[in-house]
């Protein structure tokens, strides 16, 4: 028996650096520090959302957990068993437990495969069922994601974006996964379809006890369905907190800036907006000290030299900022 305290997934100091090659001989000239020391856990039936700007490494975290490429450093545990260093043959049976739904509903389905074959592929791969049992399973999955039964013999291009995303979800559910990584799974859909898919994911989570790693930049959606949120900036988690705490009283200046950018559908509400200046620095050459110091309104000397660690700041919330109490308003003298 597994101890109750073992989380379903534990990621410990995960790093993924992509080498950069250049010059005449194609030698390694540097690294893209896409993910640089990220740790978190996900429990069964829990949703952890990873949010951040584009290029902050959130998708890389998902792909690293799926082992779509080897990781640079760190550890990944599934049910207490280390999986990041397993050889391909031993990893394959465990893949069944972690599945993925991608952002683009058009490129995530093979245009030359019929819907039935797409959904059946993981079931066949893991030898879960065959023959009429396989057909029943596929039909059951299609019902579960509310696809019409006659879709089974059709090709992906015959479906709309939302329906294709349902096909993708059915494929992810097919092997009976414990954890589904939703890599911007609803970002490409229009608003009404987005809501349908989000509700479908929530229903499936309740029904099947799925854990979700929900990678998104859409804070409104995240607030709607998540239990906990990890905010990433330039390859690092800057704040990790329960949904209620994070959205009510964000601690890290970057989280505040992100939340203040979410539009509120009420024109009478006065909000204090924190406008960040400049672009995200390059992950090839990240800033020293705190990676956010180049854009932080509360920056002081220590930030430029010393990297803040993710530490407990009360209320089950962890934040990587040197300030214990972050002031409500930005100082009048704008920092460089």
Partner 1 sequence: MSTTTIPVRELTAADVTAAPVLPDVLPARRERGAVMMFIYRHPTIAAGGFLVALIIAMAIFAPWLGTVDPTALAPAKRTRPPSELYWFGTDMLGRDVYSRVLYGSRVSLIVGFSVAFFASAVGMAIGLISGFVRILDAIVMRIMDGLMSIPSILLAIALMALTRGSVGNVILAITVAEVPRVSRLVRGVVLSLREQPYVEAAVASGTRMPKIIWKHIVPNTLAPMMVQATFICASAMITEAILSFIGAGTPPTIPSWGNIMAEGRALWQVKPYIVFFPAIFLSVTVLAVNLLGDGLRDALDPRMAKRI
Q: Which residues bind partner 1 (CB under 8 A)?
A: 63, 66, 68, 92-93, 95-96, 98-100, 102-104, 107-113, 121-122, 125-126, 140, 143-144, 146, 148-149, 168, 171, 174-175, 207
Distance CA 333, CA 330 (A): 8
Distance CA 267, CA 261 (A): 14
Least separation in angstroms between residue 224's CB and partner 1 is: 22
What are the φ/ψ torsions at residue 148 (nearest 5 degrees)? -65, 145
Long-range contacts of 186-194 (CB under 8 A, 24+ apart): 186/216, 186/218, 186/221, 187/103, 187/216, 187/217, 187/218, 188/103, 188/104, 188/105, 188/161, 189/105, 189/161, 189/162, 189/165, 190/161, 193/160, 193/161, 193/162, 193/165, 194/221
Least separation in angstroms between residue 14's CB and partner 1 is: 17
Q: Residue 165 has which token pair?
A: 């995303």
Least separation in angstroms between residue 127's CB and partner 1 is: 10
Q: Please tell me the number of Cα atoms within 13 Å of 216 on its side-chain side.
A: 26
Give the DSSP per-residue string, 265-277. S-TT------PPP
Q: Residue 329 has which token pair?
A: 């308003």
Q: For partner 1, which is the closer residue by CB, 181 or 259?
A: 181
Q: For partner 1, which is the closer residue by CB, 63 or 236?
A: 63
Q: For partner 1, which is the closer residue by CB, 189 or 238?
A: 189
Least separation in angstroms between residue 162's CB and partner 1 is: 12
Q: For partner 1, which is the closer residue by CB, 128 or 330?
A: 128
Q: For partner 1, which is the closer residue by CB, 63 or 227?
A: 63
Least separation in angstroms between residue 256's CB and partner 1 is: 33
Residue in the structure block whose two tokens are 């490429």: 69
Least separation in angstroms between residue 183's CB and partner 1 is: 9
Q: For partner 1, which is the closer residue by CB, 22 or 148?
A: 148
């Amino acid at each position: 028996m597994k101890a109750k305290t073992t989380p379903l997934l534990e990621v410990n100091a995960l790093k993924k650096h992509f080498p950069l090659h250049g010059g005449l001989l194609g030698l390694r000239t540097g690294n893209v520090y896409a993910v640089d020391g990220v740790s978190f856990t996900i429990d069964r039936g829990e949703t952890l959302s990873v949010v951040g700007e584009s290029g902050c490494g959130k998708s890389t975290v998902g792909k690293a957990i799926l082992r779509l490429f080897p990781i640079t450093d760190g550890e990944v545990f599934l049910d207490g068993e280390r999986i990041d260093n397993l050889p391909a043959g031993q990893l394959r049976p465990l893949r069944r437990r972690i599945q993925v739904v991608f952002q683009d509903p058009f490129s995530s389905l093979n245009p030359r495969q019929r819907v039935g074959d797409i959904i059946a592929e993981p079931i066949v791969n893991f030898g879960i069922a065959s023959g009429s049992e396989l057909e029943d399973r596929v039909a059951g999955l299609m019902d579960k994601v509310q696809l019409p039964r006659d879709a089974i013999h059709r090709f992906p291009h015959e479906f709309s974006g939302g329906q294709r995303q349902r096909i993708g979800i059915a494929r992810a559910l097919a092997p009976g996964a414990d954890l589904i990584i939703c890599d911007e799974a609803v970002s490409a859909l229009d608003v009404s379809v987005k809501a349908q898919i989000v509700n479908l994911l929530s229903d499936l989570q309740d029904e099947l006890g799925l854990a979700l790693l929900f990678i998104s930049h859409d804070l409104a959606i995240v607030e709607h369905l998540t239990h906990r949120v990890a905010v990433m900036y330039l390859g690092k988690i800057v704040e990790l907190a329960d949904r209620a705490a994070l959205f009510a009283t964000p601690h890290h200046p970057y989280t505040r800036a992100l939340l203040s950018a979410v539009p509120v559908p009420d024109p009478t509400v006065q909000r204090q907006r924190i406008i960040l200046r400049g672009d995200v620095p390059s992950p090839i050459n990240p800033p020293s000290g705190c990676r956010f110091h180049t854009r932080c309104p509360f920056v002081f000397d220590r930030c430029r030299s010393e990297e803040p660690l993710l530490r407990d700041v009360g209320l089950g919330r962890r934040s990587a900022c040197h300030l214990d109490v972050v002031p409500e308003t930005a100082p009048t003298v704008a920092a460089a």
